[in-house]
Every structure is written in C-alpha cells, then in structure tokens.
C-alpha cells in the first residue's frame, strides 16, 4: 500500500502525517508513507484543501485531520 500525505507544510499536514503513521503502525500493515509537498503535483489530485490522504493514488480524505481511529477504518476498508 502506498500512502501519500498532500500538504505544503502547515501544522495540519504534520498532524495528518503523524496520525497516519500511528494508524499504520497500529494496524501493522505493509505500507509506505510519503509526503507530497509540490503544489503542482498536489493540484493534480483535484483538491483545493490541504492536507489530504491519498492511498494508492486515490484521494480518501481532504481538508481536515481525522482521528487515528478514523484513518484506521479508512485504511482497512476494502
């Protein structure tokens, strides 16, 4: 699983990255978490609000920082 955090480096983006890493660790799944800070690439995902959570190139969530529990649910949803 390839997880991307989209954001240009604001505090919410860091919070989302932290929460996502926690969720991945708790689920104990095989996943890479990378941060995408290039704004032209971020725009390619069609969002106007950061941060965003992208899993395997699909935008699952944007514009807010969810709880670790919610991220775990999103990551395990088929």
The contact mask relative to other proteins for 45-74 (x = CB under 8 A, - = no) is xxxxxx-------xx--xxxx---------
If one asks whether residue 78 binds other proteins (CB under 8 A), the answer comes out as no
If one asks whether residue 20 binds other proteins (CB under 8 A), the answer comes out as no
Contact 20, 71 (CB under 8 A): yes
Bridge-based pairing of strands 58-62 and 52-55 is antiparallel
Q: Please name the helix (run of DSSP H) or strand (run of DSSP E) that holds residue 32, with its range, or none.
A: strand 32-36
Q: Which residues bind other proteins (CB under 8 A)?
A: 7-8, 10-13, 39-40, 42-50, 58-59, 62-65
């Amino acid at each position: 699983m390839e997880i991307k955090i989209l954001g240009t480096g604001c505090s919410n983006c860091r919070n989302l990255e932290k929460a996502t890493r926690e969720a991945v660790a708790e689920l104990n799944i095989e996943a890479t978490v990378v941060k995408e800070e290039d704004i032209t690439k971020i725009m390619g995902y069609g969002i106007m609000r950061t941060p965003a959570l992208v899993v395997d190139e699909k935008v699952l969530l944007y514009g807010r920082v969810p709880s670790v529990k919610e991220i775990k649910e999103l990551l395990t949803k088929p």
